[in-house]
Amino acid sequence: MTKANLSDWVKAELAQVEAAQARGQVEHTTALRALSARYDSRKKCIVIGLENGSFFSFPPDLAQGLAHARPSELADIEISPQGIGLHWPKLDADLTVEGLLAGLFGSRSWMRAHAARAGRVRSPAKAQAAKVNGAKGGRPRKTPAESARV
């Protein structure tokens, strides 16, 4: 079948192929894709090698579904065919590379609960600050101007 025998809609689609290929190439080069992923048992962190040559690592305790996993479970990581996601089959956990790089280590509700737990952490620095504030009569009250800003 020659180009002259093609219907108008086929000709229109073929005319868009070059532009679509260019858009796909731009998307492919700008997307953050994983080439490798492994669990470093010595450092106790997940290490992700990206297509652009950089590496990213994070402790599994930060990520939904990985917090209480054994090293053997963490070591079994599958990378999605396009390199945009990671899957731990033994844990049935999935995370996106883009989300991890943006600091999203789980679903919205899980992140909210994780942040609430982090705010309740007790540390020597928090204890010292509470002691100093207590000696001053407690936490200072907000002025009317500060209350209006909230």
Question: What CATH number corresponds to the domain at position 44?
Answer: 3.30.2020.40
Shared domain for 25 and 39, answered yes or no, is no
How many domains in the chain? 2
Residue 136 covered by a domain: no
* Spatial separation of the C-alpha atoms in residues 48 and 24, rounded to whole Å: 24
Q: Which residue, 30, 60, 48, is CA-closest to 85?
A: 48
Residue 117 covered by a domain: yes
Shared domain for 86 and 12, answered yes or no, is no
Shared domain for 51 and 65, answered yes or no, is yes
Model confidence pLDDT, tens digit, residues 92-109: 999 999 888 888 888 777
Shared domain for 17 and 50, answered yes or no, is no
Cβ(37)–Cβ(77) below 8 Å: yes
Q: In this model, does residue 29 exceed pLDDT 60?
A: no
pTM for the full model? 0.58
CA distances for 99 relative to 35, 92, 106, angstroms: 16, 17, 8
Residue 62 covered by a domain: yes
Angle at 55 between CA 84 and CA 31, to 5 degrees: 35
Full domain range(s) for residue 53: 34-122
Residue 58 makes CB contacts below 8 A (sequence gap 6+) with 45, 46, 100, 105
Cβ(114)–Cβ(108) below 8 Å: no
Residue 68 covered by a domain: yes
Q: Which residue, 82, 81, 68, 72, is CA-closest to 38?
A: 72
Residue 145 covered by a domain: no
Written as one string, the DSSP assignment of 88-103 is: ETTTTEEEEHHHHHTT
Secondary structure element (H or E) that encloses residue 129, with its range: helix 124-135
Q: Higher-confidence residue: 118 or 82?
A: 82
Least confident stretch, 25-34, 68-77, 99-108: 25-34
Shared domain for 21 and 57, answered yes or no, is no
